[in-house]
């Protein structure tokens, strides 16, 4: 499955880098985390990633206090078409597939998650995020709602950007990806 490149694994504060990233933002998250808890954005300078020794020192300064297993990955940025609802986070599609009665993968649920807190770097519902249904045929969003709490939002409650009717970029490619992965993995 395509995913952000893993640059290091950190176990109980001890980094094991596998490759050097470019200078810039990296995403650090607990491997066993839930709801966006613990997620950190860490910014590396060119000196921080000049070689493995420098990168290891950098990771110790940023993640030396962590417990458990953490992943350090390249930071993904939202598609520009989602900038009005993304704020500081990466909106994510949640797409569920099942085998249908003909033995083919079929998409059965589909929604987009995105943040409602301008300071949040995660889109998780447990962190106060919003979600909106996706029209399977067109990739257009329905009215946004809170996963925990009341409220319906045709526009983003912080940015005022339209939610309802927003066209997801690359929707056909996303559908093809999840059904392809389902065939290969299950």
Burial class of residue 141, CB neighbours in 10 A (0-12, 13-18, 19+)? buried
- 153 bridge partner residues: 144
pTM of the model: 0.85
State pLDDT tens for residues 112-147: 999 998 888 888 888 888 999 999 999 999 999 987
Tokens 């962190």 correspond to 127
Q: Within its chain, how far is the Cα of 134 from the centroid?
A: 17
Which one has a higher pLDDT value, 16 or 118? 16
State pLDDT tens for residues 173-184: 999 999 999 998
State pLDDT tens for residues 44-102: 999 999 999 999 999 999 999 999 999 999 999 999 999 999 999 999 999 999 999 99
Query: If pLDDT is split at 50, 70 and 90, which confidence band does 110 have?
Result: very high
Contact criterion met (CB below 8 Å) for 5 and 27: no
């Amino acid at each position: 499955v395509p995913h952000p490149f893993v640059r290091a694994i950190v176990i109980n504060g001890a980094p094991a880098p596998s490759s050097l990233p470019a200078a810039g933002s990296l995403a650090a998250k607990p491997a066993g985390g839930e709801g966006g808890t613990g997620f950190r954005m860490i910014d590396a300078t060119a000196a921080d990633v000049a070689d493995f020794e420098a990168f290891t020192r950098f990771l110790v300064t940023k993640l030396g206090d962590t417990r458990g297993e953490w992943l350090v990955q390249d930071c993904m940025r939202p598609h520009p078409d989602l900038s009005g609802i993304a704020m500081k986070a990466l909106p994510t599609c949640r797409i569920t597939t099942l085998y249908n009665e003909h033995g083919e993968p079929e998409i059965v649920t589909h929604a987009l998650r995105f943040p409602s807190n301008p300071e949040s770097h995660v889109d998780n519902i447990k962190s106060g995020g919003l979600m909106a249904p996706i029209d399977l045929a067109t990739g257009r969003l329905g009215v946004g709602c809170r996963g925990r709490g009341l409220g319906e939002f045709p526009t983003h409650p912080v940015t005022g950007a339209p939610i309802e009717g927003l066209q997801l970029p690359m929707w056909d490619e996303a559908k093809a990806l999840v059904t392809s992965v389902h065939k290969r993995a299950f």
